[in-house]
Amino acid sequence: MRNRLRWPAIAFVAILAISGCTSGATTAPSTATSAAPPTTAPSASASEAPASSAPAAPTPEPAADCARSTDAGAMQMWERSGGNKGMVDQLVCAWNQAHADKKINLSYIVHTEMVAKIAQGIATGDVPDLMGMDLIYAPQFEDAGQLVDITDKIKDWPELKTASPGHMTVATYKDRLYGVPLYADVSSRFYNKSLFKAAGLDPAKPPTSLPELRTYADKITKLGGDTKGYYLPGNCAGCNIFTVGPLVWASGGQIEAGKCGDEPLTGNIKPVLQWLRDMSKSGNVPDGARAETGETFHLQFGSGKLGMMGTGNFNISLARDQMKGHEFDFGISLLPGLDAGKYASFIGGDIVVVPNGSKRVDDSVEFMKFLLSDNTQVEVYAKALSVGRTPYTLTFFEQINSPSGPWLQMLQKVYYTDDDLDTVINDAKTAMKAISCQ
């Protein structure tokens, strides 16, 4: 049982659909495992907030009633807002039902504000007892000494041997453990079978390469009205690494500099960027996507107006909820590269960690064990995917996820300007290399 099910949460139907498309496919490059030189976590003054021209991020929905508690002895837990809210609600509700004497009061923080809020809380001592942290930021906070080292409390757990490797890699720093998997976000391509049929495309045969994807998108966009063939989020760094990153990896490219001295943006970068520019300028992408900061990203596919979209497993239940009244059939496959039959996926998600200053370390560790238990894995989690990539760098935020960082700046020049691509790539290379050596 443990060897099959010790992975973080991901919808079972997505795994069936995705794994069924991997025959003959190559996986993305393996995750770099060498740590960069020590750096610090994003400062309290650093913000992930969108550019000033973007609309203010809305207040996130509250946690489900069963995931909140007004008990004086309740543990406080922070989690970032986003598409996996339903899964985290379920996990905390299951814990609260089984642990009436130490319930968790779950709060959601707008995802664009989460890193700054965590850093500020750690600096001032105003921290929750435990929190879900975007796994990609874990190395920075571990290196800065801002998370509780839980190695001696969990090192003998048999469940760790089969925990998600990508999650455990970033939860480990200098052979010390700082967290366990909470859930997985797996990027994939959703496609609207109803629009495929309307455009004369075979709904049983999604495109197997980027050139073929462009052909399909053109035909779907020609249906007219608000219908568009594809979606590229224009103002969301994280959305782009999640859904555009795999297009690069599947084409043989490398994006980030793992450590000082590494060369970023290598391999087939330029051809993929040219494909992205052509897609953006072809009319296949909705005009509103240019302002997408990530707050409404997970709501796009369920509108029924998109032929295809790179998104995540979280969109399965969301799309079904949204499509009431305009139901349509949809399928799921991996994201393709330039050559037919080459695919990749980004495995992201969250780990559970304990910030320095927590007064409930032992109880938080007990929650971690609960997450990895067979009962939780079978009854709450579903089976997971073992194919994909999780980038490892201590400067992921600065290189990739910052709204003012080189990754998004590069893509916005690709999407919305005619700037020379060689110059665009070289500028981004220079910035990424400088950041990796800070």
* CATH number for the segment(s) 186-344+393-436: 3.40.190.10
For the CA atoms of 311, 173, 383, 108, what is the dihedral angle to 10 degrees?
-60
Q: Where are the domains of the chain?
A: 2-23+51-185+347-379, 186-344+393-436
Q: Kindly tell me if the per-residue pLDDT of 6 is higher than 70.
A: no
- Rounded to an integer, the average pLDDT of 173-200 is 93
- The residue among 250, 135, 134, 234 whose CA lies nearest residue 189 is 250
- Rounded to an integer, the average pLDDT of 198-216 is 97
Q: Which amino acid is at 378?
A: V
Task: Output the pLDDT for position 324.
Answer: 75
Share of the chain above pLDDT 70, in %: 82
The tens digit of pLDDT for each residue in 304-313 reads 999 999 998 7
Tokens of 281: 């300028």
Question: What's the pLDDT band for 415 if we cut at 50, 70, 90?
Answer: very high
Question: What's the pLDDT band for 14 if we cut at 50, 70, 90?
Answer: very low
User: Which of 58 and 366 is assigned the larger pLDDT?
Assistant: 366
Q: Kindly tell me if the per-residue pLDDT of 62 is higher than 70.
A: yes
Task: Output the pLDDT for position 345.
Answer: 87
∠ CA 390-295-287, nearest 5°, is: 100
Q: Kindly tell me if the per-residue pLDDT of 137 is higher than 50.
A: yes
- Rounded to an integer, the average pLDDT of 26-48 is 34
Task: Output the pLDDT for position 252.
Answer: 94
Question: What's the pLDDT band for 17 if we cut at 50, 70, 90?
Answer: very low
Q: Strand 179-192 relative to strand 308-312: parallel, antiparallel, unpaired?
A: antiparallel
Between the alpha carbon of residue 123 and those of residues 90, 119, 133, 136, 147, the distances in Å are 31, 6, 17, 21, 12
Q: What is the mean pLDDT of the chain?
A: 83
Task: Output the pLDDT for position 385.
Answer: 40
Tokens of 118: 């965590």
Token look-up 């990739």 returns: 400
The tens digit of pLDDT for each residue in 254-266 reads 999 989 999 999 9
Is the pTM higher than 0.85?
Answer: no
Residue 22 DSSP SS3: coil
Ranges 113-117, 120-124, 273-277, 330-334, most confident: 273-277
Please tell me the distance from the alpha carbon of residue 151 to that of residue 390, in angstroms, as a whole number.
Answer: 22
Alpha carbons within 13 angstroms on the beta-carbon side of residue 6 total 20
Question: What's the pLDDT band for 83 if we cut at 50, 70, 90?
Answer: low
Task: Output the pLDDT for position 44.
Answer: 40
Q: Which superfamily is assigned to 2-23+51-185+347-379 in CATH?
A: Periplasmic binding protein-like II (3.40.190.10)
Cβ-proximal residues to 48 (8 Å cutoff; 6+ apart), any chain: 111, 112, 113, 114, 115, 116, 397, 401, 402, 403
Q: Which of 93-102, 160-169, 184-193, 301-310 has the lowest mean pLDDT?
A: 160-169
Q: Which amino acid is at 244?
A: V
Q: Kindly tell me if the per-residue pLDDT of 77 is higher than 90.
A: yes
Asked if the domains 2-23+51-185+347-379 and 186-344+393-436 are classified in one and the same CATH topology, the answer is yes
Q: Kindly tell me if the per-residue pLDDT of 343 is higher than 60.
A: yes
Cβ atoms of 224 and 285 closer than 8 Å = no
Task: Output the pLDDT for position 375.
Answer: 67
Cβ-proximal residues to 61 (8 Å cutoff; 6+ apart), any chain: 81, 85, 108
User: Which of 421 and 5 is assigned the larger pLDDT?
Assistant: 421
- Rounded to an integer, the average pLDDT of 278-286 is 97
Q: Which of 8-12, 272-276, 380-384 has the lowest mean pLDDT?
A: 8-12
Tokens of 144: 């800065």
